[in-house]
Amino acid sequence: MSVLVNKDSKIIVQGFTGSEGTFHATQMIDYGTNIVGGVTPGKGGQSHLDKPVFNTVAEAVKEVGADTSIIFVPPAFAGDAIMEAAEAGIKVIICITEGIPTADMVKVKSYIDQRDCRLVGPNCPGVITADEAKVGIMPGFVFKKGKVG
């Protein structure tokens, strides 16, 4: 059973071509997660990890139907990245970034509350549905599909 992500989720990586985004996107792809592309402003039209790169989240939603985003951007830009994803219609936004200024997150919280989306994070390991989708930085091998208890 999945709650937020599953094998059919269409996931993009914001901060895709950076070192953290690249490392963790590779791990997610190896797990079998349906990464459909990534966003890095100024690098749209390129390919990275055999996936398309877009300049904006709105472009990714339009071109590949993205519905989930994971964010690997520096703290100073993370608030704007979250709001960009929400504005583009992303339904599940997962932000790994730690150290985002509190004032930025107050603004983000108010913005998110007015949209039809769910924010997980910031400063979290991500979300996983065992054997379906790993959207985060946790090791996939420690999770097993089945009942708890």
Q: What is the pLDDT of residues 80-127, one digit of tens each?
A: 999 999 999 999 999 999 999 999 999 999 999 999 999 999 999 999
Kindly state the percentage of the chain with pLDDT values over 90.
Answer: 95
Q: Which residue is it, tokens 């936004």? A: 93
pLDDT at 67: 99
Our count of domains for the chain comes to 1
Contacts for 120 with CB less than 8 Å, ≥ 6 apart: 4, 92, 93, 94, 95, 126, 127
Nearest to 44 by CA among 32, 27, 62: 62
Q: Does any domain span residue 148? A: no
Poorest-confidence range of 24-28, 60-64, 139-143? 139-143
Region 2-13 average pLDDT: 95
129 domain residue, yes or no: yes
In-domain check, residue 138: yes
Instruction: Assess if residue 104 is contained within a domain.
Output: yes
Q: Is the pLDDT of residue 62 over 60?
A: yes
Both tokens of 104, joined, read 């930025």
| Token digits of residue 102 | 């509190």
Q: List CB contacts of 95: < 8 A, sequence separation 6 or more.
A: 70, 71, 78, 81, 82, 119, 120, 121, 122, 123, 124
Q: At a CB cut-off of 8 Å and minimum separation 6, what does 39 contact?
A: 12, 13, 14, 15, 16, 53, 54, 55, 56, 57, 59, 60, 69
5 within a domain of the structure (yes/no): no
pLDDT above 80: residue 1? no
Nearest residue to 34 via CA among 10, 53, 51, 50: 10
Position 148 confidence tier, pLDDT thresholds 50, 70, 90: confident
2 pLDDT band, cuts 50/70/90, is confident
CATH number at residue 45: 3.40.50.720
pTM of the model: 0.96
Select from 26, 30, 31, 32 the least CA-distant residue to 13: 26
Range of the domain at 45: 11-142
pLDDT in the model for residue 123: 97
Residue 45, pLDDT above cutoff 80 = yes
Average pLDDT value over all residues in the chain? 97
As a whole number, mean pLDDT of residues 23-29 equals 99
